[in-house]
Amino acid sequence: MTLLDSNESKKKMCQIYNEISKELFGFGTTLLRVTVEGNIATLYAKHRRSPRSAALEDEAPGLKLEVDFRMSHLYKRKFRKKLSEMGLDIETVLRDYDAATQWAVTNVILRDT
């Protein structure tokens, strides 16, 4: 068992993920699950729709897409930094967010040691 797939590490990753969500959006996720396979952790998160996001969607859909993209990029950067502080040697963090359903899938890939 590696550091990544310990129950303590999974709980900590979820806690960090939710902390960043609260910091950026004002609230955490409604569902958050993490799985580990080898050196890859995958987080599945169902987010809440922000009232600001819904307003932008109606008034300026292109701007909303840009904001979603930028916020996802910021999320990844903050998440990577926090996970690195846990002692994880991260190769990359990949995140995809579907605004229509509010689902996000984040993959954390560790360097092979």
- The C-alpha atoms of residue 3 and residue 53 are separated, in whole angstroms, by 36
pLDDT tens sequence across 93-106: 999 988 889 899 99
Mean pLDDT of the chain: 89
Asked if residue 2 is part of any domain, the answer here is: no
Q: What is the mean pLDDT of each run of 10 residues along the chain (113 residues)?
A: 72 95 90 94 90 76 86 95 93 92 94 80
The DSSP bridge partners found for residue 64 are none
pLDDT tens sequence across 11-22: 999 999 999 999
Contact 41, 4 (CB under 8 A): yes
* pTM for the structure as a whole: 0.86
Domain that holds residue 105: 7-110
Instruction: Find the CATH number of the domain harbouring 23.
Output: 3.30.980
Asked if residue 24 is part of any domain, the answer here is: yes
- The C-alpha atoms of residue 94 and residue 77 are separated, in whole angstroms, by 10
Asked if residue 58 is part of any domain, the answer here is: yes
Asked if residue 59 is part of any domain, the answer here is: yes
Short-list 24, 4, 23, CA closest to 84 = 4
- The C-alpha atoms of residue 40 and residue 50 are separated, in whole angstroms, by 29
Asked if residue 1 is part of any domain, the answer here is: no
Asked if residue 91 is part of any domain, the answer here is: yes
Structural domains of the chain, count: 1
Asked if residue 100 is part of any domain, the answer here is: yes
